[in-house]
Structure 1
Amino acid sequence: MGSEDLFRKRKARESAELKRKQHIRAQNKRYLIVCEGTKTEPHYFRELLDDWGIRQQVVRVAPNDGVSPDRVVAHALHLYNEDAEGGDAYDKVYCIFDRDKHTTFSAAVQQTKDLSAGGKPLEAITSTPCFEFWLLLHFGYTDQPFHAAGKKSVGDQVVQALKAKDGFKQYGKGLKGIYTGLKGRLNEAVGNAEKLRSHCEATSSVNPATDIDKLIATLRSLKPE
């Protein structure tokens, strides 16, 4: 058999293998979650993914590279581009960050919208004032705004309210087991977040608010049969 025939057969095998991988890839979308928090949010989502049997190959929770919203988006974009250059870009990239008192919040949200419009599927998943408000919604509905008072920041006020709930007296950043302890109330939290969104749209309010329920809905759709 000539070298030309061997070359053609090798190329045919490579082409067939590429098509096979592309077919498999089309059936299995990949998602990336990049959090502002270094511990609390990553722990929460990793526990949820493990509980729902969603593999890391499907949803990756990446370490952050800076805690301000603009840094979260920049790092998420870097990770997206890195994968795209390898020929297998993420189908969706979620940037999780808080409004809190960040000066780059609005610009970061707008940047994700601009990037998405340009074909790079980044989406901001935000909470106002902070992620802990999402946890608070597991205990009931509230649309009462939070504000800084005295030496307590707006985020401190949410944490104080959370610590008043059963099982959260010792709450602190980086605490593990939060998802596990609250998963029985997850549907209640989702319902409360949806109700709050309707309230915010009707009143043009942005405090409090959260989009975490939107991400939860996406992840729920990825649960194995």
Structure 2
Amino acid sequence: MSKRAKRRSELDRRRVAAKRNRRIFLIVCEGETEKRYFDSLRGHRGVQIHAVHVRRAKHPQRERVVRTAVEAERSDYTGVWAVFDTDGDDVTELCREAARKGVETACSTPTFETWLLLHLGDHRAALGSGAKAEKALQALLPSWSKGRTRFEDFAHGLQDAVERAELLPPGGDPSTGVHRLIRVILRE
């Protein structure tokens, strides 16, 4: 083998090893709030995320979120997640279907704002609706709005949010699975 071919072979092995060690997550989000949160999380502790937003119509788009995640080209990603609201509905079968097709789910009841609330306090009272979750969040963080969600506003309470979320009953109101995604991303 020539020196040139040997060098090229060694470089190819290094590229493959670098790709194997690179951790990039695809996160398919139902809402703009989720996408903004994850987009701004990218700079946190070397996190590599590609967040996409499935445009939300008047009705929940969780099935579309899961379908988009399932149909995504996954070879470049360490993991693929679907993040959506339950709006109080039973999403057990949808989560099972996603898992069967290799997609992890992180759903929140009633909405993603539940996850954000947990950064700011130990919220265990039923929220009932997304509108009530938003109102509770604005009471704790008056500068917050859906269109201006930034991870930086919640970063100080990230570890608390993870711990609080783990104590909530899965599928209850309130509840969220976002803590599982955060643990995977941050390798905790």
Normalised-by-shorter TM-score class: 0.7 to 0.9
Structure-2 residue corresponding to 1:128: 109
2: CA distance, partners of 1:50 / 1:187: 17
Within the alignment, does 1:175 sit opposite 2:144 as a pair? no
Q: In structure 2, do the counterparts of structure 1 residues 106 and 184 end up closer, same or farther at CA, with 3 Å as the change threshold?
A: same
Tell me the residue number matched to 1:34.
28
Secondary structure of 1:45's aligned partner:
helix
| 2:52 matches 1:62 | yes
Distance 1:144-1:32 versus aligned 2 partners, 3 A rule: same
Residue 65 (structure 1) shift: 5.2
Amino acid of the residue matched to residue 142 of structure 1?
H
- Give CA deviations for 1:137-181 in whole Å, capped at 9, x if unaligned: 12222322232xxxxxx111111211221x32x54322143x212
**Structure 1 unaligned spans of 5+:** 1-8, 117-121, 148-153
Q: Is 1:75 the equivalent of 2:68?
A: yes
4+ long deviations beyond 4 Å: 12-18
2:183 is matched with which residue: 195, 207, 217?
A: 217
The aligned residue for residue 85 of structure 2 is: 98
Match for residue 43 of structure 1?
36
Instruction: Give the corresponding residue for 2:94.
Output: 108
Change (3 A) 1:172 1:124: same
Pair member with larger Rg: 1
Is the contact between residue 30 and residue 92 of structure 1 (CA under 8 Å) also seen in structure 2?
Answer: yes
Conserved? CA contact 2:30–2:62, under 8 Å: yes
User: AA paired with 2:70?
Assistant: L
Distance 1:123 1:209 in 2: 16
CA distance in 2, matches of 1:175, 1:186: 18
How much does 1:30 deviate? 2.8
1:43-101 deviation digits (Å, cap 9, x = unpaired): 111111113333xxx42112325551110011112223xx5xxxx34231010001015
The alignment partner of 2:43 has SS state of helix
The residue number in structure 2 matching 1:184 is 156
Cα separation, 1, equivalents of 2:70 and 2:99: 12
CA contact (8 A) 1:68 1:102 kept: no
- Any unmatched runs of 5+ in structure 2? none
Q: What is the CA RMSD across the aligned residues, in angstroms?
A: 2.8
Residue identity in the other structure for 1:63: H
Q: What amino acid does structure 2 have at the position aligned with 1:111?
A: E
SS across alignment from 2:172: coil
